[in-house]
Amino acid sequence: MADKFRRVCVVGVGLIGGSMALSMRRMGLADEIVGVGRRIENLKNALQLGAVTGYTRKIEQGVEDADLVILAVPVRAMPELVKSARGHFQPGAILTDVGSTKAKMIKAIEPLLAPGVDFIPAHPIAGREKSGAEYSDPEIFQGRWTIITPAKSSSPKGVQRIRRLWRALGAKVELMAPEVHDRILASVSHLPHIVAYGLVGALLKLDRKTPLLRFSAGGFRDFTRIAESSPEMWRDICLENKTEILRAMEEYEKELRRMKTLLKQEQGKGLLKFFETCRQVKGKIRNSNG
Amino acid sequence: MADKFRRVCVVGVGLIGGSMALSMRRMGLADEIVGVGRRIENLKNALQLGAVTGYTRKIEQGVEDADLVILAVPVRAMPELVKSARGHFQPGAILTDVGSTKAKMIKAIEPLLAPGVDFIPAHPIAGREKSGAEYSDPEIFQGRWTIITPAKSSSPKGVQRIRRLWRALGAKVELMAPEVHDRILASVSHLPHIVAYGLVGALLKLDRKTPLLRFSAGGFRDFTRIAESSPEMWRDICLENKTEILRAMEEYEKELRRMKTLLKQEQGKGLLKFFETCRQVKGKIRNSNG
């Protein structure tokens, strides 16, 4: 069972921050939850939903007396926020985050930490193409992975508390080094988004020559769903995880070139074999995801 | 209202052939439907489902006395089948198909047609990642496009009958030249599949270096669904529509290169602007799909 927090501060009450808050409230894991954000409208929504018990637009005020602070804003906004709240953290407070990239962000935040603040970075792999507190869903983490990527300064005790918290929210938890996380996520999440954005971009251009989007079939519609994600979030992910994303893109471009050769040379057998190999992937995901 | 057919022969009782048959039966658009296929098991399923009223493994026997023959097999298998049934078509019969590529297939089939057979090529854009008669769904065409691509020999009367048939099955019908169809489908359907297959292929390779597929997130799962499609069907589509697919791939590769440059140069503003542009696509599809 996860131990209770007295006062939690959620910085950024969007889909993930709001869902965490709502889930913690429902499970009785926090006496108080203060939401910090810029848009009053969104904070009011969060209050009405019961995700937070109060809110403020000032992070300095939000972290005051909090024994858990959760950063749930785009990764690149995190260091500045930590810096401005620096003098206001309660000694012994745990600081965690939900960012999609880790190594660079951790390096930027560690030197800014107030003494006695225990930073435990984490990443729940549970995004959707919606943003804002109004989409909060306490079930969103159920059966999904949360990856904890301890920083050099993270205490084992803090890691355990955050691990128990995520388990209580229904997640499967794995620990790994920030660099390993960033490499894996570049492949399973960032590359697919780049690929989808590229396809949508290409079709928007082709559509200008010959109107064709009206005939778009099921296959393409899945891609457009991905392209509805938050542009700010994906800009930050690209900038923070550039090296690993470029590496994954190279592997992808190799595959595209290989398919192009098979096509150009009309190698029916080669194409068939490749498509058959790809069919295995579903099984591989299923088998290893238990 | 569509006029009734006396005896329909469906060659290939898979997802599309089976769904057409089932829908025609339910709407009373055919007195008899004969299924032609190789796998007896599948034909028995179709009979049990009520999609067909009889079956045979011999196409010569199937087309005998049929006033409508529907080819619902992979595109590359079509010419051979038409050839072997050549002497058995009823004069005045309509021959149609449901193939995903048109120009090359039509060129191959036209010289093989028996005199008096009216060939009306068509393509219902309503695929799913399942195959086999057991997945037949009479609602599958509802609100989806069917594109009729008349051949040089197609009679206006035959085109009208096939158009009425598809409207009766719930489809929105559009007529266009086979070459235009192939160009549009290369963009909205074939390219997305190539892109998805390439991504799945790349991730299977990356997974061998660092096991990562178990952490695959929502974004990637959509791609794996596409990669479950029939390998034979996609091999045929690639071979039949090679030129247009390569053309679409080039536009796509241009976009990828552009994104790569933005990434390498860490152009946050450029990335943001591009991602924001991509968000428009959903609206464009919705607005033009009414």
Domain edges within chain A: 5-176, 180-288
The residue among A275, A276, A284 with the most chain B CBs within 10 A of its CB, best to mutate, is A275
* Superfamily for domain range A180-288: 6-phosphogluconate dehydrogenase C-terminal like domain (1.10.3660.10)
Residue in B with minimal Cα distance to A231 = B275
In percent, the amount of chain A with pLDDT more than 70 equals 96
Look at residue B195 and give its three-state secondary structure.
helix
| pLDDT of residue A9 exceeding 70 | yes
Residue B13 distance to chain A (closest CA, Å): 21
Chain A 120-149, residues with CB within 8 Å of chain B CB atoms: 125-128, 145, 147
Q: How far is CA B17 from CA B52, B86, B132, in A?
A: 10, 21, 9
Q: Are B131 and B14 in contact (CB under 8 A)?
A: yes
Please give the pLDDT value at position B128.
Answer: 65
Nearest Cβ partner for B245 among A238, A248, A263? A263
- Residue A3's pLDDT band, with cuts at 50, 70 and 90, is confident
| pLDDT of residue A191 exceeding 80 | yes
> What is the value of ipTM here, to two decimals?
0.88
A285 touches B: beta carbon within 8 Å: yes
Please give the pLDDT value at position A137.
Answer: 87
Cα–Cα dist A288/A174, whole Å: 13
Q: What is the CATH number of domain B5-176?
A: 3.40.50.720
Cα–Cα dist B200/B197, whole Å: 5
A238 touches B: beta carbon within 8 Å: yes
The residue among B275, B276, B286, B287 with the most chain A CBs within 10 A of its CB, best to mutate, is B275
What digits encode the pLDDT tens for the residues A60-78?
999 999 999 999 999 999 9
Inter-chain touch A281–B213, beta carbons under 8 Å = yes
Inter-chain touch A198–B252, beta carbons under 8 Å = yes
Q: Are A14 and A41 in contact (CB under 8 A)?
A: no
Please give the pLDDT value at position A290.
Answer: 38
Please give the pLDDT value at position B290.
Answer: 38
Q: Which residues of B touch A201 (CB under 8 A)?
A: 255, 258-259, 274, 277-278
Chain A 246-275, residues with CB within 8 Å of chain B CB atoms: 246, 248-249, 251-256, 258-260, 262-264, 266, 268, 271-272, 274-275
Regarding pTM above 0.80, the answer is yes
| pLDDT of residue A222 exceeding 80 | no
B177 touches A: beta carbon within 8 Å: no
In percent, the amount of chain A with pLDDT more than 90 equals 83
Which comes out higher in pLDDT, residue A236 or B127?
Answer: A236
Nearest Cβ partner for A224 among B145, B180, B285? B285
Q: Which residues of B touch A226 (CB under 8 A)?
A: 219, 222
The residue among A16, A180, A214 with the most chain B CBs within 10 A of its CB, best to mutate, is A214
Nearest Cβ partner for B216 among A128, A188, A280? A188
The parts of chain B modelled with pLDDT lower than 70 are 1, 127-130, 218, 286-290
Inter-chain touch A220–B189, beta carbons under 8 Å = yes
Inter-chain touch A189–B220, beta carbons under 8 Å = yes
> Would B5-176 and B180-288 be classified into the same CATH topology?
no
B77 touches A: beta carbon within 8 Å: no
Question: Can you tell me the mean pLDDT for A36-48?
Answer: 96
Query: B281 — alpha (psi -120 to 50), left (phi > 0) or beta?
Result: alpha
Element at B182 (helix H, strand E): helix B178-185
> How much is the mean pLDDT over chain A?
93
The residue to which tokens 């898979």 are assigned: B14
A31 touches B: beta carbon within 8 Å: no
What digits encode the pLDDT tens for the residues A117-151?
999 999 999 866 667 778 888 889 999 999 999 99
